[in-house]
Structure 1
Amino acid sequence: MRRTTTTSLALAGAVLLLAGCGSKSGSDTDTKGAGKVSPSAPSAPASGGCASTVELKAADTGRTVCVAKGGEVRLTLDGTKSRPWKPVMTSGTALKGINAGLALQSGDATAAFRAAADGTAKLTSTRPLCAEPTAPGGVSCKGIQEWMVTVTVK
């Protein structure tokens, strides 16, 4: 029995060691070295102190980001079938929608924009705070989770 336990532990340790070999670490810059900003990871800005690419997630709500004119803003909001994100809306003329080029899972929202003109735009989306009940007597709420990011184009 002792030999089996020792062998099992050694095998488990080897699997964990190998699993770590494929993990990613380091900064979030693209392979071309252009300014790519994921608000959680710093990178080199493009001209004028603004990034050439900005990638946003649900956790970035409330942030203000700067993207260089001609650059891109891409975002993915991970939702669920029972708590889906509404399509992302934009205000102003600073950003122009482009093809995000991604397949969506049920409940997700994705969008991509080209920084077309100097100015400011707001990106917004919402989703239910709670899933709708699937059975009579289930818990329900009418709360809404809001997502909003301000984008400055220079």
Structure 2
Amino acid sequence: MTKFLLSAHVLAVILAIGPVTVAASMFPAVTRRVLAAPAGALAAPEAPEAPEAPDVTVLRTLHRICRVYAAVGLAVPVFGVATGASLGILGDAWLIVSAVLTAVAAVLLAIVILPRQDDILAAASKAEPLHERLPARLAMTTGVFNLLWATVTVLMIVRPGSTTGA
């Protein structure tokens, strides 16, 4: 059962967290393209069937990826705790630190990254001007989010105090 839980945990990380980190990292760059577009190029179409500006469509897709895979990513800590319990390591310091960093990353995604993406997408969809610093701030926050996940990954591989010799 432990091997199943560990496999499910690792697959959930790869399939859920990977897309969120990539899509969230791409979002600020596309936002910069939206800012650089000539005035009126991103205007909302008059007819409902008219296509949206390409960069706004990309923003919408990246945001959808972030939201959907963030929800799917809830499986990561669920399988992680189940795996830790089956291995009897829930009290290990490296696992507690990993859990705290995971929680910080989740909170950062939920209360900063996704809402800023919402704001940018709403403004871009209405062809409203965006603050020039918004993409840089979002990129920085996303970088911290990604760094947290990289740290958790290293902790999961190295496992300080592990008896496996890793």
The TM-score normalised by the length of structure 2 is 0.25
Q: Which has the higher helix share?
A: 2
TM-score normalised per structure 1: 0.26
Higher strand proportion (structure 1 or 2): 1
Answer with 1 or 2: which has the greater Rg: 1
